[in-house]
Structure 1
């Protein structure tokens, strides 16, 4: 389980991350990251004003019915939540991350999801491993 301060809950936060952020796609995952740099590159306002202390990085997950039935979707979401938790420390403060599972994610092994998540985050962070 993610700590409450690291969870994305509001629809607006998900929309901000997916529309204003950068994304990296992998065979089973798409990772969206919205940080101050990506928001400025797109000419958008960053969700946290400059004078305000940025909140810790927050993560959310999108696992649609295309991934599988409820049991499979919950399994994929638990795996992704477990994978993202230690990687949050390597993300910029105040960043928003949305991990979207693609239809094959239900059949993917845990290690494969971990490699794909690491590769996507490394690409979004400019080659720096989280």
Structure 2
């Protein structure tokens, strides 16, 4: 589970990451990961899982898998980086293993692409 101080909560914070000129972005068929440098202390993570992904059970499972994996990957992310993970509709039919594998590769790519 992600601690409260490592979560993006405000709409303005999400927008700042997604619209930042200095952000790095990596996309796959199931996930889109955007990473941007921020002035906040530590790293923060936000998830976007829309109703297009599936019903409430599928959306919550997807969020749980992504949150759990990000909690494990957070120490590997450089300091002062905010990450937004958007789940595409294909994420609803993916297994937990596929989501974790996608997130590992996309996170590394997005962090390395940021300026």
Q: Which runs of 5+ in 1 are unaligned?
A: 36-46, 49-53
With CA pairs under 8 Å and 6+ residues apart, which has the higher RCO, 1 or 2?
A: 2
Instruction: Identify the residue that residue 27 of structure 2 maps to in structure 1.
Output: 25
- Structure 2 residues without counterparts, runs of 5 or longer: none
2:42 to 45, 52, 56: 56
- Within-5 A mapping of 1:1-130: 1-20=1-20, 21-35=23-37, 47-48=38-39, 54-126=40-112
Cα deviation, residue 126, structure 1: 2.8
**Number of matched residues?**
111
Q: CA RMSD in A?
A: 1.4
Provide the TM-score with structure 1 as the length reference: 0.80
Deviation at 1:69, TM superposition (A): 0.9
- Offset of residue 56 of structure 1: 1.0
